[in-house]
Amino acid sequence: MLIIQQIKFNDLKNGQFINDYYTETELNKLFEISKGDPLELIVLITAFYGLRRSEVLGLQWDSFDFENKTITIKHTIIITNTDGKHRKLEGKNRTKNKSSYRTLPLFDDIARILLKSKEIQENFKRAFGNSYNKKYLNYVFVKHDGNIIRPNYVTEHFSTILKKNNMKHIRFHDLRHSCASLLLAKGIPMKSIQEWLGHSDFSTTANLYAHLDCSSKKSSANALESIFTITNINKKENEENASSSLKNN
């Protein structure tokens, strides 16, 4: 079973919007209600790897090394404007930046679902025959007829899933932020989170998630607690009050 941990943070900071996120309970519920949905595997991979929408849709079968259990983020699907009116879907053999090209461990549960998905994809390919779109043969996330799953569909359908199941609304991109918050909750260093998410600069990660990092705050709290011995003060006051009460009696 895929299990997630959680931490909590505010929606506002200095009057600016803070990216929302899902907690452990909410993510596991999302995984449950997404079973059998066209976005099931997209949601799982996005949440566990903190991928951008362009990265998850750009995954190809050769992105996965099932023998060595790795996933490599190296290709993206984006929408470009051609003349200000028409929008074109493009696959690019490059990521947002150099750091976004990264290789991560492949979870056993996700590998199992991927292989099942590939089997289903092959069945539809045979069923559609010559009408199957062979342009996107190597892509993981395609429709039954071989057409690529478009970015706008992911955004819109994700919102529909949440609304249909009375879940708190978050953007699809907030699954990426949920991943970061959960890693911090597990005590993963900010530098490691930068590498996991593929940020080009450490300051990007720090600026986005520093308010979630409770480890340094806990250290400060422990230091102050050792200085200000409130327990001892209260104990002394209680002893003085008890002594005074005995004298009065």
Beta strands 76-81 and 12-13: pairing type?
A: unpaired
Asked which of 31-45, 49-63, 154-168, 231-245 is least confident by mean pLDDT, the reply is 231-245
Is residue 227 domain-shared with residue 160, that is, in the same domain?
no
Position 131 scores a pLDDT of: 96
Residue 3 counted as domain residue = no
Would you state the structure tokens that stand for residue 71, as one six-digit string?
């996933």
Is residue 176 domain-shared with residue 222, that is, in the same domain?
no
3-class SS letters over the chain: CCCCCCCCCCCEECCEECCCCCCHHHHHHHHHHCCCCCCHHHHHHHHHHCCCHHHHHCCEHHHEECCCCEEEECCEEEEEECCCCCEEEEEECCCCCHHHCEEEECCHHHHHHHHHHHHHHHHHHHHHHHHCCHHHCCECCECCCCCECCHHHHHHHHHHHHHHCCCCCCCCCHHHHHHHHHHHHCCCCHHHHHHHHCCCCHHHHHHHHHHHCCHHHHHHHHHHHHHCCHHHHHHHHHHHHHHHHHHHC
Is residue 27 domain-shared with residue 122, that is, in the same domain?
yes
Q: What is the pLDDT of residues 164-188, one digit of tens each?
A: 999 999 999 999 888 887 887 777 7
Is the pLDDT confidence value at 1 over 50?
A: no
Q: Residues 213-220: what's their mean pLDDT? A: 51
Is the pLDDT confidence value at 44 over 60?
A: yes
Is the pLDDT confidence value at 205 over 60?
A: no
Is residue 74 within 8 A of residue 62, CB to CB? The reply is: no
Cβ neighbourhood burial of 142 (10 Å; 0-12, 13-18, 19+): buried
Residue 6 counted as domain residue = no
Q: What is the pLDDT of residues 109-152, one digit of tens each?
A: 999 999 999 999 999 999 999 999 999 999 999 999 999 999 99
Position 225 scores a pLDDT of: 60
Q: Which range of residues forms the domain containing residue 224? A: 216-249
Is residue 48 domain-shared with residue 125, that is, in the same domain?
yes
Residue 84 counted as domain residue = yes
CATH code of the domain in which 117 resides: 1.10.443.10
| pLDDT > 90 in the chain, percent | 49
Residue 240 counted as domain residue = yes
Residue 7 counted as domain residue = no
Q: What is the pLDDT of residues 84-113, one digit of tens each?
A: 655 666 666 656 666 678 999 999 999 999
Q: Kindly report the average pLDDT of the chain as a whole number.
A: 79
pLDDT level of residue 239 (50, 70, 90 thresholds) = low
Q: What is the pTM of this model?
A: 0.74
